[in-house]
Every structure is written in C-alpha cells, then in structure tokens.
Amino acid sequence: MSYQHILLVTDLLSDADLVAQKAKRIVDNRPDSKLSVLHIVKDTMVGFGYELVPASSLYDEIDDERCQEARAKLAQFLDRNDLHVVNSEVTTAISNSEGIVNYCHKHDVDLLVIGRHERHGIAAWLSGATADNILPNVPCDSLVVRLDKPVNK
C-alpha cells in the first residue's frame, strides 16, 4: 500500500523520540507521502449545574497555558527528531482516543503511528492504553510501537 498521509501521534514523553524515528523512516522511504504530527491535551470540563461541558465547545479556540506549553514542547520535539511535517497540531479533546479518531477521519489519514506503553495491574484495568482504545475505530492502517514502561513527564 502506498501511504499518502501519515499521522504521528505523540504524548511528548521522553520515549516519544523512539516512535518519531519509526515514523521518520517510513516517511523517508515514501517521498510522495506527507507527515502530520498530533498531540492531544485533555479538554477542561466546565460545570453548569449538574451538567459538565467541554470548555472547547464554548470557545472557538482554547489557548490556555497547557496548550501553549504543549506547542513549545512539540516544536522542540520536531526539531530534535528532524521531522519535516505538513501539519503539526496541538488540540483539545475529551479523551486522547476521541481526538485521534476524529483527526484520522477528518484529515484522511492512511497510516497512524503511535506508541504504546505497557500497563499492568489496576492501571491497565482502569484506563488501558490509548492505542488499544483507538484501534477498532480508526479508518486506517496503524503501526503501534511497543514501549517498555510508562515514563514520567
């Protein structure tokens, strides 16, 4: 298959460079493909009485301190890994899974590249890995890069 639009999803943790280098190798071997990079910031919820509403639904552009900090880290990540992208985006979403799936549908992604940290015990039971949650719902091929253990931010 000839991949035209490759999406690298990053959590910007210290081992994200391993995933970035895999995506870079794929793009370098496909000169007609384009690379996009996505980082999701969990949306802030606003309470109205008994109802919780995502803050992003109330405003056109949520540009709080967390997003600004993520944009700066993403720029460093791109430079450090020598990634030449057509689009790098920090966006808010209720969950990482929802944000990634929506992006793939909206931007006609052919290949998704994402890292997956091993989780054990109660952490695996409570939240699971984002990669596990999105795979049944993304409309494209996926490369899941196995990472050893969760790392600190």
93 bridge partner residues? 42
Is the Cβ–Cβ distance between 135 and 113 less than 8 Å? no
pLDDT tens digits along 39-49: 998 766 556 66
Candidate CATH numbers 3.40.50.2300, 3.40.50.620, 3.40.50.850, 3.40.50.1390; the one for domain 5-147: 3.40.50.620
Give the residue-averaged pLDDT of 54-62. 51
CA torsion sign for 109, 18, 89, 130 is: positive
d(CA 73, CA 68): 9
To the nearest 10 degrees (0 to 180), the angle between helices 16-28 and 65-80 is: 50
Return the domain boundaries, the chain.
5-147
Instruction: Label residue 57 by pLDDT band (50, 70, 90).
Output: very low
Residue 38, classified by CB atoms within 10 Å of its CB into exposed (0-12), middle (13-18) or buried (19+), is buried
pLDDT, greater one: 24 or 95: 24
**Residue 20: its H or E element:** helix 16-28
- At residue 71, does pLDDT exceed 70? yes
Give the residue-averaged pLDDT of 94-99. 82
pLDDT, greater one: 149 or 144: 144
Query: What 8-state DSSP symbol labels residue 152?
Result: -
Q: What is the pLDDT of residue 59?
A: 52
CA torsion sign for 42, 94, 118, 18 is: negative
Q: What is the pLDDT of residue 148?
A: 77
- At residue 82, does pLDDT exceed 90? yes
pLDDT, greater one: 147 or 75: 75
d(CA 127, CA 124): 6
- At residue 54, does pLDDT exceed 60? no
Q: How far out from the chain centre does Cα 117 lie?
A: 14
CB atoms within 10 A of CB 40: 24
